Chain A
Amino acid sequence: AQKVTQAQTEISVVEKEDVTLDCVYETRDTTYYLFWYKQPPSGELVFLIRRNSFDEQNEISGRYSWNFQKSTSSFNFTITASQVVDSAVYFCALSGITGNQFYFGTGTSLTVIP
């Protein structure tokens, strides 16, 4: 069965602090894909990153970085020097090799306080 767990329901940080959003997944597939999406108050899900199961190299994009560890089935997301505009709900998602059916976690609501 495919499952994504985001144990952190809500996080509040003060602007400029670093914050890490946790994502743990379960799958029996050997090939799979992991994603992070941002859902701001406007409601539209915004794609942030895709990772395939064969690529454990961490990635950095500006203030965003992702740590993928197959040994712990985790795909964590860190925002460095958080800003108020980062306030949103962040979803981690998993798909199988076809990339069709996505399994989303329940999301982490991040509030950045000015």
Chain B
Amino acid sequence: DTGVSQNPRHKITKRGQNVTFRCDPISEHNRLYWYRQTLGQGPEFLTYFQNEAQLEKSRLLSDRFSAERPKGSFSTLEIQRTEQGDSAMYLCASRAPGQGHNEQFFGPGTRLTVL
């Protein structure tokens, strides 16, 4: 399977706990994106990496959220002190290098439920 993969697919946690999600992009895709999708809404941009550099962050990304892509390959998204409002689907996408390739390819997502 050469698509974007995300782990875990589902995560249930109690309020106040920390959670970490992983995203493995399509091989050789140098750009990686995180989005959040709540029920009945479209995905909302959270942050973007080009190689290992985090170049853009949305105002949605509070200080409890941190994302890394240390070696320019896989990425992790950590949420500290989770709140019930963090319950959502967290989507990762990747994109090929070059200006001619704008489409982002999405993974299956990690569904987070905060009790």
Q: Which residues on the B side are within 8 Å of A52 (C-beta)?
A: 102
Binary contact readout B26-53 vs A (1 if CB under 8 angstroms, 0 otherwise): 0000010101000011111100100000
Cα A50 to Cα B48 in complex, Å, equals 20
Q: Is the CB of A101 within 8 A of B56?
A: yes
Interface magnitude class on chain B: 20 to 34
- A interface majority secondary structure: strand
> 8 Å CB contacts to A: which residues of B76-106?
89, 91, 93, 95, 99, 102-106
Give the Cβ gap from B38 to chain A, nearest Cβ, in Å.
11
Q: Is the CB of A101 within 8 A of B40?
A: no
Q: Which residues on the B side are within 8 Å of A105 (C-beta)?
A: 42
Give the size of the chain A interface in residues (CB under 8 angstroms): 24
Q: Is the CB of A47 within 8 A of B104?
A: yes
Give the Cβ gap from B48 to chain A, nearest Cβ, in Å.
5
Q: Which residues on the A side are within 8 Å of B35 (C-beta)?
A: 102
Cα A52 to Cα B103 in complex, Å, equals 11
Residues of B within 8 A of A (CB): 31, 33, 35, 40-45, 48, 55-56, 58, 89, 91, 93, 95, 99, 102-109, 111
Residues of A within 8 A of B (CB): 4, 33, 35, 37, 42-47, 50, 52, 91, 93, 95, 99-107
8 contacts between A and B (CB under 8 A): A35-B102, A37-B106, A42-B108, A47-B103, A99-B95, A99-B102, A100-B55, A104-B43
